[in-house]
Amino acid sequence: MQRNNNEALSTLVDGEHGKNKDILEDLVRDDAMKGVWKRYHLIGDCLRGNLPEKIYNNFIIEVNQHLKNDPAIISHKRAKQFKREPIIGFAIAASVAALAILGVQHKNNISSTEIKDTVVMNESIIDSKLETFSFPETHIRPASDKQSTQFHLITEKRLNNYLINHSKYKHNIKMNSVLPYARIVTIESEE
Amino acid sequence: MKFPYLFSLIFYICIHSIFARADNIAPDPKILIAEMSNATTELNYDGIFVYRYDKQIDKMRIIHKKNSNGDVHERLVLLTGNKREIIRDNDRVKYFFPENKVVIIEKSKSGQLISSHIPDTIQSISKFYAFDIVGQGRIVGLNAWIVNIRPIDRFRYGYQLWIDKESKLLLKSKLKNFQGVTLEQIMFTQLDVLGNIDDMLLKPSFSSKNFTLINNINDKTSAYNVSRKKWKPSWIPKGFLMSEYSIDPMPTSAIPVEHFIYSDGLATISIYVEKLNKQQPIRTGTTNFGGVNTYSLSTDGYQITAIGEVPKTTVQLIVNSVKSSP
């Protein structure tokens, strides 16, 4: 029953109503189906590159947990009963979801050891092939500053020196005395 | 016989409710901020806080001590990423960047700007910011007042502060733009207010022997009193007054850089005017470091840069208005 519902939902997400038109009514009543519906849309958003800017840790854990538990994704035997197109769609979606999650973390410049501290990643979801994937190095600086040329190093060093110099001037109200220093110690390395 | 007991009970309930109310009566936000400013310097504390900006979160430890002779010592340690530290002894600040083996020594200029009449200063700030107590919260197990500081215009940022009811220390702060979007945030996850702090905790965790020392304290300004063009911004947001002018030596600059400092009491804007050789690369455009925005442009062989805890538009408008006169 669950399997059939998932299949019907997947066709609905793909823009087809399928044979079972009662699925919409079931969807309104059934909270579990609503959850599946949300996850399928999330996967669709991953595929289309419509993920939100910020993904929080518990959110990632939750997605991983659902991906792990969802029979439509990890159970190959059950997957055989699905139509071919949705299976391919889900396989790609699962890969993209994992990639997107990894991508978000790399974008945040968090090293692999730090990921372990903050996010519990499910080993079974991260395919070993994905680990060899190279991600473009990203910085918080504007696009024009990303090239690591000598020119940019010099101008960045100059700007960093200005920032350090600026931080020594405190305002009258010592409202947030640690903040100027916090900004300095988090300046990106000039190496 | 029962009357005295009943009277005592009513008396106890009245007194209890008065004290309970007193604890929840919102104080004057301006006085509270003055008390917080004072507590930040006067108390000894050791705490860990998270600093969040953009998509990055970092964790730091701050140890602050004020000796009985009035000397202030502070140590900030970055607990995530590169192991960087900042040590402050009164107005002398050392920045340790171990990944580059560099120590930069600067002299803090806070003493020249601190007013001895903080409440008066807050009164003057009130023309450009609205102060309100908007509620109560609980951070790191401590009860706090939540204070909103809203700017009157789009040329400056606002703040939301969580101030400990007891110690008056800042427990959490958010820097917000005019639309109320949080740009930068710090929040303590551990905070101990202590009677005394061991001096060993204020020492850097590594020796600076193998480090390259960049000492920016040397006063070279008098040696560079050559005739310079007079630069001046023709526009600055209302309420920002020039608090200082200096000619600062910079490690990356052959010639010291002209430096104008403006403040409205809460935010500070620096304008740097640096003469560059033709071969030297010039940066133009905007950058941001958390809640600090910068904008640079080049004109007539000079690079003009504004840096401040103000919106991007503000630094752009200021730099575009800077003009020279012979």
- Interface check for B86 against chain A (CB to CB < 8 A): the answer is yes
Question: In which region does residue B285 sit, left (phi positive, over 0), alpha (psi from -120 to 50) or beta (all else)?
Answer: left
Residue to mutate among A155, A158, A164, A167, with most B CBs inside 10 A, is: A158
Task: Decide if A189 and B56 are in contact by the 8 Å CB cutoff.
Answer: no
Q: Distance between CA A177 and CA B196 in Å, rounded?
A: 20
pLDDT at residue A45 is higher than 90:
no
Cα separations in angstroms, B103 against A98, B35, B214, B247, B254: 41, 34, 6, 22, 19
Residue ranges covered by each domain of chain B: 25-202, 218-325
- The domain B218-325 having CATH identifier 3.30.200.100: the answer here is yes
**Residue A145, both tokens:** 């500053």
How close B114 comes to chain A (CA, Å)? 5
Residues of chain A neighbouring B109 (CB-CB closer than 8 A): 168-170
Residue ranges covered by each domain of chain A: 2-131, 143-185
Higher pLDDT, A97 or A45: A45
pLDDT tens for chain B, 326 residues long, are: 556 666 676 766 656 655 555 567 889 998 998 899 889 889 999 999 999 988 889 999 999 999 989 999 999 999 998 889 999 898 888 889 888 888 888 877 653 332 333 344 677 788 899 999 999 999 999 999 999 999 999 999 999 999 999 999 999 999 999 888 899 999 999 999 999 999 999 999 888 788 888 887 765 554 455 556 788 899 999 989 888 888 888 877 778 889 999 988 888 999 999 988 777 777 788 888 888 999 999 888 889 999 999 999 999 999 999 998 76
- Interface check for B258 against chain A (CB to CB < 8 A): the answer is no
Instruction: Please tell me the predicted confidence (pLDDT) of residue B14.
Output: 58
Higher pLDDT, B141 or A89: B141
Q: Distance between CA B259 and CA B230 in Å, rounded?
A: 12
Task: Decide if B173 and A173 are in contact by the 8 Å CB cutoff.
Answer: no
H or E stretch at B122: helix B118-125
**Which member of A158, A161, A163 has the closest CB to residue B283?**
A158
Q: At what angle do helices A84-107 and A31-48 cross, to 10 degrees?
A: 70
- Interface check for B289 against chain A (CB to CB < 8 A): the answer is yes
- A77 pLDDT band, cuts 50/70/90, is very low
Looking at this predicted complex, what is its ipTM?
0.78
What single-letter amino acid sits at A35?
G
- Interface check for B78 against chain A (CB to CB < 8 A): the answer is yes
pTM score > 0.90 for this model?
no
Per-residue pLDDT reduced to its tens digit, A119-152: 333 333 333 333 333 333 333 444 444 555 677 7
- A164 pLDDT band, cuts 50/70/90, is confident
Q: Which CATH superfamily is domain B25-202 in?
A: Lipoprotein localisation LolA/LolB/LppX (2.50.20.10)
Q: Which residue of A has its CA nearest to B248?
A: A165
Residues of chain A neighbouring B286 (CB-CB closer than 8 A): 142
The long-range contacts involving B253-258, CB below 8 angstroms and separated by at least 24 positions, are: B253/A158, B253/A161, B255/B224, B256/B220, B256/B221, B256/B224, B257/A162, B258/B228, B258/B231
Look-up: residue for tokens 């002398």?
A: B92
Task: Decide if A172 and B263 are in contact by the 8 Å CB cutoff.
Answer: yes
SS3 A152: helix
Task: Decide if A173 and B104 are in contact by the 8 Å CB cutoff.
Answer: no
Instruction: Please tell me the predicted confidence (pLDDT) of residue A191.
Output: 43
Q: Distance between CA A38 and CA A50 in Å, rounded?
A: 14
Q: Which residue of A has its CA nearest to B273?
A: A162
- Answer yes or no: are the C-beta atoms of B202 and B75 closer than 8 Å: yes
